[in-house]
Amino acid sequence: MSFKVPRGTQDILPEQTPKWQKVESILRDLSRVYRYKEIRTPMFEQTELFQRGVGDTTDIVQKEMYTFEDRGGRSLTLRPEGTASAVRAYVEHKMFGAPDQPVKLSYIGPMFRYERQQAGRYRQFVQFGVEAIGSADPAIDAEVISLAMDVYHSVGLKDLQLHINSLGDKETRDAHRTALINHFKPSIGEFCSDCQNRLEKNPLRILDCKVDHEHPLMQTAPKLTDYLTEYSGTYFEKVKEYLDVLGIEYVVDPNLVRGLDYYNHTAFEIMSTASGFGAITTLCGGGRYNGLVEDIGGPDVPGIGFALSIERLLLALEAEGIQLDVEDSLDIYVVAIGDEAKKKSVELLSSFRTKGISADMDYIDRKMKAQMKSADRLGAKYVIVIGDSELEEAAVNIKEMQTGNQEKVPFVELVNYLLEHK
């Protein structure tokens, strides 16, 4: 019987992991610079958390969640996104009482959604996200968007476009909801079954439909920005002013609604405009979620955040032909000839590694020529060959592979030599 990786998942092999590690390092460094401290939450939560937080009418809850019953009869769900878990932790641990507000959090970890696999989209995927909870200042909206843009700029991406919109407050949404129902209802039979179900429950989600996005009624649908209250309109203008101050270019997209129920006021997506990237161009999405903390059992505290898929980030790098500068060097390879030489090699490797010098040797008893080829393949900076004569002299010729230069160095001085020449 043969086994394969489950559908919609992937193995990230050793030759690929340096790219992931590089991206993760950049993400953690940016989080540090912006002061978003890492939080680590469980990979599964009570199902009701996502039903209440993400929304019963969303595709995630209705179609994509991995839900199971544990042995105690409790309904649990593998997390499909990170915000609900972060907010749950914020409420449970009473972080709203911390002296410094807003509470700024970041996370990196696997998420799970049952959906059709396609380029850059998997059923298990790795998401980076940030949450700023406790401020209703438009400046924090601009900061969150700036951090998202900096992620992509830091890896060298250039073919980017930021789309923003305002989803308004409850008064705005109610007025817009009525207008949408009146607009779509006479012709709703021409739309997909999902849109038909959304008409009364959540008509705003019709605008996010991938099946009927070319339907003429989509182009003439009432714009949410036309129904903004004075407060919502002023708030959105201030967000745009801060983005202008930061020099961040954007496109106001009235059809940008995002796929989760908790969003209000500012919503944004970052798109890749690289040719050949694929049909789904969204790299990152986020927005404000005032009211979510209260829905999950906490106080009435505002919040904003975003999340991005690392898989899609790597796909965008590929589309733009960008190679990350990754560290995967080998400082020294030790070639051993004979049993006594092998014992000495094991001892030397330990002394190198203790000082942070990357070192390796042969473990399958290959001939000297094969070991030298291995050192070359691994990109070793230096190579030493240990045989009987080297053991007698307690010294070895150390060869710099790039130049071919050799220098005789006593065993006891090898560590210092390598530290000086790293």
Q: Give the DSSP letter of residue 69.
A: E
pLDDT-flagged residues of the chain (< 70): 56-57, 258-261, 278-280
Query: How many residues does this entry show for the chain?
Result: 422
- Cis amide leading into 222 (omega within 30): no
The token pair that represents 388 in the structure block? 């009987």
Contact 118, 281 (CB under 8 A): no
Helix axes 170-184, 193-201, angle to 10 degrees: 130
Structure tokens at 131: 């949450």
Inter-helix orientation angle 17-34/138-154, to 10°: 150
150 alpha-carbon distance from chain centroid? 13
CA-based R_g, the chain, Å:
28
Measured distance CA(108)–CA(174) in Å, rounded: 35
Strands (E), 90-238: 103-112, 124-133, 160-166
At 254, list the tokens: 């009235």
d(CA 44, CA 126): 15
Nearest to 62 by CA among 260, 310, 230: 260
The helix/strand/coil state of 45 is strand
What the block records as the tokens of 420 is 């000086």
- Residue 77, exposed/middle/buried by CB under 10 A (0-12, 13-18, 19+)? buried
Bridge partners, residue 209, by sequence? none
Residue 216, judged by CB atoms within 10 A of its CB (0-12, 13-18, 19+), counts as exposed
For 45, the token pair is 């939560």
Q: Answer yes or no: are the C-beta atoms of 268 and 145 closer than 8 Å.
A: yes
Task: Provide the phi-psi class of 272: left if phi over 0, else alpha when psi is between -120 and 50, else beta.
Answer: beta
User: Virtual CA dihedral for 72, 78, 83, 85, nearest 10 degrees?
Assistant: 30
Q: Return the pLDDT at 335.
A: 97
Token pair for residue 323? Answer: 């190679």
Burial track 143-155 (b if 16+ CB lie within 10 A, e otherwise) = bbbbbbbebbeeb
Instruction: Give the orientation angle of helix 310-319 with respect to helix 138-154, to 10 degrees.
Output: 50
The token pair at 227 is 């129904």
Helices 138-154 and 230-245: angle between axes, nearest 10 degrees: 40
Following CA atoms 332, 337, 340, 341 in sequence, which dihedral angle do they give, to the nearest 10 degrees? -20
List CB contacts of 389: < 8 A, sequence separation 6 or more: none
Q: Which residues contact 86 (CB under 8 A, 6 or more apart)?
A: 39, 41, 105, 107, 129, 131, 133, 305
Alpha-helical runs (H) found in 36-120: 47-53, 59, 83-92
Please report, for residues 173, 192, 217, 222, the alpha-carbon distance to residue 214 in angstroms, rounded to integers and kept in the order given: 24, 12, 8, 16
> Which CA distances in Å does 203 have to 139, 175, 210?
30, 12, 14
